[in-house]
Chain A
Amino acid sequence: MISITLAILMCMVAVLSLALLATRGSSVKRELAFRSDVPLYDETTGDPSLCPPEFAARIFSSADWTFVAGEKSPEVARLFLDERRVVALVWVHQTKTAIHRIMREHTRVTRHSQDLNLATEAKLFGHYLQLVAVCDLLILAIQAAGPSRVGALATYAASLSQSFADAQHALAITTAARDLRGASTAH
Chain B
Amino acid sequence: MTTTKLVTVQAAYDDFLQRSLSKLSCDLARLIYLASTRDYNTGTYHHDGLAARFSPETAAKALEIAHRQIFLQLSAYSLEELVEQLRIYFESSKDGATEILRMWQKLEPYRIAIPVEVNPAVARLFLSNVRLALAIWRSRQDQSPPDQ
User: Taking beta carbons and an 8 Å cutoff, which residues of A are in contact with B?
Assistant: 36-41, 45-47, 49, 51-52, 54-55, 58-59, 61, 63-64, 67-68, 71, 73, 75-76, 79-80, 83-84, 86-87, 90-91, 94
Give which listed residue, B117, B121, B127, B143, contacts A51 with CB less than 8 A.
Answer: B121
In whole angstroms, how far apart are the Cα atoms of A83 and B111 in the complex?
16
CA distance A40 to B75 in the complex (A): 18
Report the separation of the CA atoms of residues A87 and B122 in the bound assembly, to the nearest whole angstrom: 9
Q: Given contacts A55-B75, A64-B78, A71-B139, are A86 and B121 in contact (CB under 8 A)? A: no
Q: Is the CB of B127 within 8 A of A63?
A: no
**Which of B75, B120, B128, B132 interacts with A76 by CB under 8 Å?**
B132
| Apart from A47-B119, A73-B139, A75-B139, 9 more pairs, CB < 8 Å | A37-B111, A64-B78, A68-B132, A76-B132, A76-B135, A80-B132, A83-B132, A90-B120, A94-B120
Binding site for A on B (CB under 8 A): 75-76, 78-80, 111, 114, 117-125, 127-128, 131-132, 135-136, 139-140, 143
Q: Which residue in chain B gives the minimum CB-CB distance to A78?
A: B135
A-B pairs with beta carbons under 8 A, tally: 86
Q: Which residues of A contact B120 (CB under 8 A)?
A: 36, 38-41, 45-47, 90, 94
For the complex, give the distance between the alpha carbons of A80 and B125 in Å: 12
A68 touches B79 (CB 8 A): yes
* Chain A interface, >50% SS class: helix
Task: Kindly report which residue of chain A lies nearest to residue B123, judged by CB atoms.
Answer: A38
Please state if B128 and A86 are interface contacts (CB–CB under 8 Å): yes
Residue of A41, A52, A87, A94 with highest tally of chain B CB at under 10 A: A87
Expressed in whole angstroms, the Cα–Cα distance for A120 and B85 within the complex equals: 49
**25 A-B pairs in the complex with CB atoms less than 8 angstroms apart:** A37-B111, A38-B114, A38-B124, A38-B127, A39-B120, A40-B120, A45-B120, A47-B119, A52-B122, A55-B122, A58-B75, A59-B121, A63-B78, A64-B79, A67-B78, A67-B79, A67-B80, A68-B132, A73-B143, A75-B135, A76-B139, A79-B132, A79-B135, A84-B128, A86-B128
List the 10 shortest-distance A-B pairs measured between CB atoms, nearest first. A73-B139, A83-B128, A64-B79, A51-B121, A91-B121, A38-B123, A67-B80, A41-B120, A90-B124, A37-B127
Measured CA separation A94–B127 after assembly (Å): 17
Complex Cα distance A103/B120, Å?
Answer: 21
Q: Which residue of B has the minimal Cβ distance to A54?
A: B76
Q: What residue in chain B is nearest A61 (Cβ atoms)?
A: B78
